[in-house]
Amino acid sequence: PSTDTPAIKSLYAEIGRHSRRQTHTASHYQLPPGDTLLIKQLAKITQDLGTPANVDEILVTHGAQQAISLALRAITVPGDIVAVESPCYFGNLLLLESLGLEVLEIPSCDYQGMDPLALESALAKWDVKVILVTPNFTNPSSAVMPLERRKQLLSVSGTIPIIEDDVFGALSFSSPIPSLRAL
């Protein structure tokens, strides 16, 4: 919208007043390692999800994409091959491109996610360094990988690292399926 309208000017003025009053509150981004109470709560959540982590194992990021980026930077170098489900979240493709990584698309079912047999076939042909997968409510298909398929994926992946993007896992109306990490 045009910023020259009285309503927008009034909104910006109100935002400015609130910002000046809240300069020392916890609403601002924290420096690493992050807020201690937040980290303790995240450790409790990991326990509840069956994937316990100690407070010193938790890294607070500014979102899932930053977390995925940091994980990829830790285990790949430009030119490495990353297996992704196809279709996958477009932001992941942009991220992989920005890091100079090659993408290997693995067919994915609209209802059950990445096909473990297709992954197994691809791994026999390509030197994949990491697998990036969203087992719960993948974007754009919203597929949820069933338990048996998760076990198959883990079986065929061998020692290849898996980055499990589970940003939407807690939003399910049905009973949760154990994460790949928990399995």
For position 162, what pLDDT does the model report? 98
**H helix or E strand, kind and range, residue 171:** none
Which pLDDT tens digits describe the chain residue by residue (183 residues)?
567 788 888 888 888 887 777 655 555 666 666 788 999 999 998 888 888 899 998 888 888 899 999 999 999 999 999 999 999 999 999 999 999 999 999 999 989 999 999 999 999 999 999 999 999 998 888 899 999 999 999 999 999 999 999 888 877 788 888 889 889
Distance CA 23, CA 15 (A): 12
Distance CA 117, CA 10 (A): 58
- Residues 6 or more apart whose CB falls under 8 angstroms from that of 31 comprise none
